[in-house]
Copies of this chain bind each other. A is one copy, B any other.
Amino acid sequence: MARLGFEITAHSGRARAGRLRTRRGLVDTPAFMPVGTQGTVKGLLPEEVSGLGAQMILGNTYHLLLRPGVETVAALGGLHRFMDWPGPILTDSGGFQVFSLSGLRNLGEDGVSFRSHLDGQLLHMTPESVVAAQEMLGSDLMMVLDECPPPGSPREYLAQSLERDARWAARALAARTDKGGALLGIVQGGVYSDLRARSMELLAALELDGYALGGLSVGEPKPRMMEVISSTVPQLPADKPVYLMGVGEPADLVRCVGLGVDMFDCVLPTRMARNGTLLTSTGRLNLRNSRFKDDPAPVEEGCECPTCRRYSRAYLRHLLMAKELLSYRLNTVHNLHYILQLMAGLRLAIAEDRYEIYARQVLEGLETSGPQRAALT
């Protein structure tokens, strides 16, 4: 049996809906995965996350490697049991954090050395070690180690880097044991179409279970990134899931689903929630705004989330200003509900072949409340 089944059930333009079959259950696509960096989706219990409609969450190997350690998690029965989330978990390789969070590093053919951002300890990662780490966590969908070159890296550098990425992907596949989950490759190549094509060619020669688009949410200009996604996705094997890492802006989700992306993850909805910025169908609502001080209305009229069904903007603003723990929790529930309902709406629209109309409605709604952060256009 394949470690990851993927069945496409509907198309609407280039958008597609389908179903991932993981060893821990089904995931409807296009899917958004809430981020549970350190073995918890911040502030929520597992049943609250699944109750909002999430079928798969993401765990961060880098963070769990440093604390509490993957051996500890393994000894306690794996990440699912540790955090009591019975559904599928995708883990990243840790590479992204090594290249963005950690200190001094040394990159070579073998792997990468880096210093823990927690205690400065010198650590080493190889394609093999990150597969082993993800297997110890019990990951259902694992990611290969890749380099994440900074935006604006020279073309020549990117060209060499993606060749090594492909060698690392082959080593990762070879290192996977029978108990390992699915393994996804990561297409690199920056904003250069020919480099992306070369990366895909190299990865397609391997027996990977899916493909992620890397380096597209780390600072390149958005219009350029959208072009890259648009030209890359059609060249990927059509029967494998496509995962766009680190993208979660509502308008971006809508547009990228329209380009054929199947999976997303992002800290945006949960991080914004903790900062008091709430997502609505008419754009963002900043709870700090004093005009909400006495506002008895819910965050969004008609919203069916557990927060909007019972609490006023005034109460939520009070909790935020008072830095109350319940603030982060109630806001996170709303934002995850918003994003997960958006994905459900997209899936339904694709099934009914009206993605284009639905997407236009959503995007117009998002623009009604004034300036939004620049979204992919």
Residue numbers of A with Cβ under 8 A of B are 38-40, 42-45, 63, 67-68, 72, 75-77, 82-84, 293-294, 296, 310-312, 314-315, 317-319, 321-322, 324-326, 328-329
Give min CB distance, A81 to chain B, whole Å.
9
Contact across chains for B72 and A319 when beta carbons are under 8 A apart: no
Contact across chains for A43 and B293 when beta carbons are under 8 A apart: no
List the B side residues contacting A310 at CB < 8 Å: 84
The residue from B75, B318, B325 contacting A68, defined by CB atoms under 8 A apart: B318
List 6 A–B pairs whose Cβ atoms lie within 8 Å, in order of A's numbering. Answer: A40-B325, A44-B326, A72-B294, A72-B314, A84-B310, A325-B325
Contact across chains for B329 and A67 when beta carbons are under 8 A apart: no
List the B side residues contacting A315 at CB < 8 Å: 39, 76, 82-83
Interchain CA distance A42-B330 in the complex, whole Å:
12
List the B side residues contacting A321 at CB < 8 Å: 67-68
Copies of this protein, total: 2
Tell me whether chain A's interface is mostly helix, strand or loop, or mixed: loop
List the B side residues contacting A317 at CB < 8 Å: 68
Contact across chains for B72 and A293 when beta carbons are under 8 A apart: yes
Contact across chains for A319 and B40 when beta carbons are under 8 A apart: yes
Give min CB distance, A57 to chain B, whole Å.
13
Contact across chains for B318 and A39 when beta carbons are under 8 A apart: yes
Interchain CA distance A66-B201 in the complex, whole Å:
64
Interchain CA distance A310-B81 in the complex, whole Å:
9
List the B side residues contacting A75 at CB < 8 Å: 294, 296
Give min CB distance, A157 to chain B, whole Å.
35
The residue on B at minimum CB distance from A66 is B322
Q: Name which of A77, A314, A326 has the most chain B CB atoms within 10 A of its CB.
A: A326
Contact across chains for B68 and A314 when beta carbons are under 8 A apart: yes
